[in-house]
Amino acid sequence: MNEAELIRGLCSGEEAAFKELVTTYQDRVYNTAIGIVQNAEDAEDVAQEVFIQVYRSIHNFKGESKLSTWLYRIATTRSLDLLRSRKSKKRFGLIQRLFGDSAEPLYEIPDFNHPGVKLDNKENAAKLFKAISQLPENQKIAFTLHKLEDLSYQEVSEIMKTTMAAVESLMHRARLNLKKILEKESG
Amino acid sequence: MHTGQNRKTDEILNSLDGFSRAAAPDLFYTRLKAKMLGQLEKGGEIAIPDQRAWALRPVYAVAALVMVLVVNSFVLLQKNKGGATNSINDTETFQSIAAEYSINDNNGLYDLNQDK
């Protein structure tokens, strides 16, 4: 089934088309989500939400970009939404603690071990992921898509709806920031 | 010292070399389908287009119902307050209309049994 047939099938609500979409793109969507949210369960939730959104809004897909570009865009947006809600929960938890309303411990992200990292790199990769989580949103998305999904700057720029030069600049700043964070943390 | 730290930082930055993509968990599609069916059973959210879904949210439905009840009660209260005056006014209006079109005593004209 090519992309046009797949979209046609999805528009007419064929289950076979939906199953093909999921099996074709599930790893890309999951890998993007896990790179950003840095938690396996949350990443699965995000990936599921991405496919549910695609199922709901396939009629709005105008075919101006590739289906994969659209999926990556939804995956990154959903992942960022989850991070924002996590942040606001953390802030709310802090306020509750200030007023003594809650004795619940604050939600802290433990060190994240990406399942795709080589065994000898695990320790260093965990440090890198911790640093990535401190990057500004745009830099985080550009870095994740380029490094974890191995997408070209051109593809990243289409997903982020920006220019290639802007992606190059985001990547450059991301690297500088990561260096700064890592140097600061190693003392 | 500095070079040592730089080398360590570079090592960390390059730790994703040889990285392979994380695969979605087993039975991902089965679990996704179960989630979608669950959402459908809860309130048919999946089948509802995004643009109109808000109108069917319980909070809006209840608000609309409350508004209708408030407007109804207000109208009924107003009507009860001025009920007596209104009935007098209504009678006067009917009488003036009847007088204007001379239909007060004309019932006899249409009485078909009159000749019998």
Compute the nearest-CA separation of A100 from chain B (Å): 32
Average pLDDT in chain B: 76
Q: Residue written as tokens 């995000």?
A: A46
Comparison of pLDDT for B100 and B69, the residue scoring more: B69
**The pLDDT of residue B83 is above 60:** no
CA distance B13 to B16: 7
The full length of chain B comes to 116
B109 vs A26: which has the higher pLDDT? A26
What are the φ and ψ backbone dihedral angles of B112, each rounded to 5 degrees? -70, -20
Contacts of A185 in chain B (CB under 8 A): none
Which residues of chain A make contact with B16, given a CB cutoff of 8 A?
A: 117, 121, 125, 128, 147-148
pLDDT 10s per residue in chain A (187 long)? Answer: 788 899 999 998 899 999 999 999 999 999 999 999 999 999 999 999 999 999 999 988 888 899 999 999 999 999 999 999 988 877 777 676 666 665 555 555 567 889 888 888 899 999 999 999 999 999 999 999 999 999 999 999 999 999 999 999 999 999 999 999 999 887 6
**Chain A CB within 8 Å of residue B20 CB:** yes
Of B16, B24, B39, the CB nearest to A128: B16
The residues, any chain, with a CB within 8 Å of residue A19's CB and separated by 6 or more, are: B29
Q: Which residue in chain B is spatially nearest to A125 when comparing CA positions? A: B15
User: Is B4 part of the contact surface with chain A (CB cutoff 8 Å)?
Assistant: no
pLDDT of residue B51: 45
B14 min Cα distance to partner chain A (Å): 8
Contacts of A160 (CB under 8 A, 6+ apart): A73, A76, A138, A141, A142, A145, A166, A167
* Residue partners of B106: CB distance under 8 A and separation at least 6: none
What integer is the mean pLDDT of B85-102? 73
CB atoms within 10 A of CB A179: 16
C-alpha distances (whole Å) from B31 to each of A51, B34, B90 are 12, 5, 69
pLDDT at B48 over 50: no
Tens of pLDDT, residues B18-40: 889 999 999 999 999 999 999 88
- Please tell me the predicted confidence (pLDDT) of residue B71: 93
Residues in chain A within 8 Å Cβ distance of B50: 56-57
Q: What are the DSSP calls for A29-67, one per residue? A: HHHHHHHHH--HHHHHHHHHHHHHHHHHHGGG--SSS-H
Q: A-chain residues within 8 Å CB-CB of B53?
A: none
3-state helix, strand, coil split of chain B in percent (to 5) is 75, 0, 25
Chain A contact for B23, CB < 8 A? yes
Whole-number Å distance between alpha carbons of A120 and A148: 18
pLDDT at position B116 is 46
Contact by Cβ (8 Å): B19, A128: no
In this prediction, residue B50 carries a pLDDT of 46
Label residue B49 by pLDDT band (50, 70, 90).
very low
Check CB contact of A40 with chain B, cutoff 8 Å: yes
Residue B54 in this model has a pLDDT that exceeds 70:
no
Residues in A touching B23 (Cβ below 8 Å): 27, 30-31, 115
Given this model, what pLDDT does residue A106 score? Answer: 55
